[in-house]
C-alpha cells in the first residue's frame, strides 16, 4: 500500500541559482499526481528532492507523517523510474529486478519467484537472462519499472519514463501503468511535460512555473478553469485574441454582443486577452447568436490534418486556428464564435 507524501514550503537551490521557491504539495495515499511543466520549471528537481537525491535548502518533506527531509535515499521507501531508465549495463534483467530484494535479505528461492512474477506482470517472460543492451526501448522501460515495483515501494516516482518511447508504444504504456498503479494501490508522483499523458494518467495535476506551483487540481478542473494565461496556454488554449473589459463584461469585435463574466473570473477593466482551444471555437452563420465572444475575421488558410479541417483565421492582426467540419474558402469573411465556457479571459500581459 502507498503512503501519503507532504511537501511543505520546500526550496531548492544549486549554488546561487534558486530552482524551487517554497513548494507546498500534499499527495494522498494511493493517489496519482502528475507534475506538469516545460523543461526548466523545476518538476524533476522536486521529484529528486522527494527521492533524496537533491538536498533542500528550506522546507520539509514527510512520507506517511514521518519527516524524511534529511533521510538518505535508501531510507525513504520511494522508488524511482528514471528518464534514462538507469539500467545497469552489467546486470541481467533478473538480477536487476531482484537487486532490491537481495538487499532486503530474501533467500534466492523467494527472489526467483518474485522476479518471475514481475516478469509476468510486465510481459517480459523469457528475458530474465538478457542484458539491457539486448532489449528494446519498451522492454528497458518495463525492466526499470519492474526494478522499482519489485521492492513494493510505498511511493513510486516516475521521471518522464515514457519520453524515450515511440508514440504508439507510449499510448499503451500509459494505460498499463495507470492500471498497475491502481491495482497495487501505490502512491505515484509522475513528472512529465506531456499534457495528454498527465491528463490521462493522473488523479490530480500540479502545473509548475519557474519553481512555483501555477495551479493544482483534477484534470477536468484545470481544463475547464485554468487560473492563468500560462496554465491555459499549457493546456492547449494556445489561441489568443485581444478583448476589452468594461465593468464585468468582455467586448470582442465591434457590433457583437459583449460577454458577461462571472465576478471571480473577471480581470480588471482595460485591455485583456481571451485564450481558447482550436477545437472549442466554431464558425457562426450570419446573425447566429452565441453565449460567448464573437470575432469577425477572414479565412487565411485551410489545412486537412485528418478528420476535421483546420482553418487559420485572421482577426485584425492576429491569426488563430479553428477546427471546422468543412473546408472554408480562403479569403471568406467569417464570424468566429468562442462559447462562454471555452473563453478563458485574463488581463493582458
Partner 1 sequence: MSRSVMWWLPRGLLLGLFAFFIFGPLVNLVLWSVAESWFWPNRLPSQYGFRFWERVFRPEGQAMESLWLSIWIASLTTLLCLAVSVPAAWALAKANLRWRAAILMLFLLPQAFPNLPVYINIARIFFTFDLNGTVIGVVLVHAAHGLVYSIWIATAAFAAVDDDLELAARNIGASALTAFRTVTLPLAAPGIAASAVFVFLESLDEFTASYFVGAPEVRTLPLLLFSAAAGGNMQVAAITALILLVPSVLFMLIVERFLRAEVLAKVGK
Residues that bind partner 1 (CB under 8 A): 51-53, 72-74, 78-80, 82, 84, 86-90, 99-100, 103-104, 147-148, 150-151, 153
Q: Which is nearer to partner 1, 1 or 332 (CB)?
A: 1
DSSP 176-190: HHHHHHHHHT-EEEE
Crossing angle of helices 93-103/108-121, nearest 10°? 130
* Nearest distance, CB of residue 72 and partner 1, angstroms: 7
Q: Which is nearer to partner 1, 55 or 316 (CB)?
A: 55
* Nearest distance, CB of residue 166 and partner 1, angstroms: 22
Q: Which is nearer to partner 1, 10 or 150 (CB)?
A: 150
* Nearest distance, CB of residue 14 and partner 1, angstroms: 11
Q: Which is nearer to partner 1, 190 or 335 (CB)?
A: 190
Crossing angle of helices 137-150/93-103, nearest 10°? 20
* Nearest distance, CB of residue 40 and partner 1, angstroms: 19
* Nearest distance, CB of residue 119 and partner 1, angstroms: 17
DSSP 160-179: STTTTS-HHHHHHHHHHHHH
DSSP 194-260: -HHHHHHH-SEEEEEETTEEEEEE-HHHHHH--SSHHHHHHTT--EEEEEEEETTEEE-STTSPPEE
* Nearest distance, CB of residue 203 and partner 1, angstroms: 24
* Nearest distance, CB of residue 138 and partner 1, angstroms: 19
Q: Which is nearer to partner 1, 35 or 150 (CB)?
A: 150
The SS3 call for residue 118 is helix
What backbone torsions phi and psi does residue 115 show, to the nearest 5 degrees?
Answer: -60, -45
CB atoms within 10 A of CB 142: 27
Task: Report the side by side order of strands in the sheet with 212-217.
Answer: 78-81, 155-159, 187-192, 32-36, 204-209, 212-217
Measured distance CA(157)–CA(35) in Å, rounded = 11
Residue 184's nearest CA partner among 150, 218, 160 is 150
* Nearest distance, CB of residue 246 and partner 1, angstroms: 55
* Nearest distance, CB of residue 226 and partner 1, angstroms: 34
Residue 211's nearest CA partner among 16, 17, 1, 76 is 17
Q: Which is nearer to partner 1, 47 or 261 (CB)?
A: 47
Q: Which is nearer to partner 1, 132 or 297 (CB)?
A: 132
Q: Which is nearer to partner 1, 68 or 216 (CB)?
A: 68
Q: Which is nearer to partner 1, 144 or 293 (CB)?
A: 144
Measured distance CA(271)–CA(316) in Å, rounded = 15
Which residue has 499523458 as its cell numbers?
Answer: 197
Amino acid at each position: 500500500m502507498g503512503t501519503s507524501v507532504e511537501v511543505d514550503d520546500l526550496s531548492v537551490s544549486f549554488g546561487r541559482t534558486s530552482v524551487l521557491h517554497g513548494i507546498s504539495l500534499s499527495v494522498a495515499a494511493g493517489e496519482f499526481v502528475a507534475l506538469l511543466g516545460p523543461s526548466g520549471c523545476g518538476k524533476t528537481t522536486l521529484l529528486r528532492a522527494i527521492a533524496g537525491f537533491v538536498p533542500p535548502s528550506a522546507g520539509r518533506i514527510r512520507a506517511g507523517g514521518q519527516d524524511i527531509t534529511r533521510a538518505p535515499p535508501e531510507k525513504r521507501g520511494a522508488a524511482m523510474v528514471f528518464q534514462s531508465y538507469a539500467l545497469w549495463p552489467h546486470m541481467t534483467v533478473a538480477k536487476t529486478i531482484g537487486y532490491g530484494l537481495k538487499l532486503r535479505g530474501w533467500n534466492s528461492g523467494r527472489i526467483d519467484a518474485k522476479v518471475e512474477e514481475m516478469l509476468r506482470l510486465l510481459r517480459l517472460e523469457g528475458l530474465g537472462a538478457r542484458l539491457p543492451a539486448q532489449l528494446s526501448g519498451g522492454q528497458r522501460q518495463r525492466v526499470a519499472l519492474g526494478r522499482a515495483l519489485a521492492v513494493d515501494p510505498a511511493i513510486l516516482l516516475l521521471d518522464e519514463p515514457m519520453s524515450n518511447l515511440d508514440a504508439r508504444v507510449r499510448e499503451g504504456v500509459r494505460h498499463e501503468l495507470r492500471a498497475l498503479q491502481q491495482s497495487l494501490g501505490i502512491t505515484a508522483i509522475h513528472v512529465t511535460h506531456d499534457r495528454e499523458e498527465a491528463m490521462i494518467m493522473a488523479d490530480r495535476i500540479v502545473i509548475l512555473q519557474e519553481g512555483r506551483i501555477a495551479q493544482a487540481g483534477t484534470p477536468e478542473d484545470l481544463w475547464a478553469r485554468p487560473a492563468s494565461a500560462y496554465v491555459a496556454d499549457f493546456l492547449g488554449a494556445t489561441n489568443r485574441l485581444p478583448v476589452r473589459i468594461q465593468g464585468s463584461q468582455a467586448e470582442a469585435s465591434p457590433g457583437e454582443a459583449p460577454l458577461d463574466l462571472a465576478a471571480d473570473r473577471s480581470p480588471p477593466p482595460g485591455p485583456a486577452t481571451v485564450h481558447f482551444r482550436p477545437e472549442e471555437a466554431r464558425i457562426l452563420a450570419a446573425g447566429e447568436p452565441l453565449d460567448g465572444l464573437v470575432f469577425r475575421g477572414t479565412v487565411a488558410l485551410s489545412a486537412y490534418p485528418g478528420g476535421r479541417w483546420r482553418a487559420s483565421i485572421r482577426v485584425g492582426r492576429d491569426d488563430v486556428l479553428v477546427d471546422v467540419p468543412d473546408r472554408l474558402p480562403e479569403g471568406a469573411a467569417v464570424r468566429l464564435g468562442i462559447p462562454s465556457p471555452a473563453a478563458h479571459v485574463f488581463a493582458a500581459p
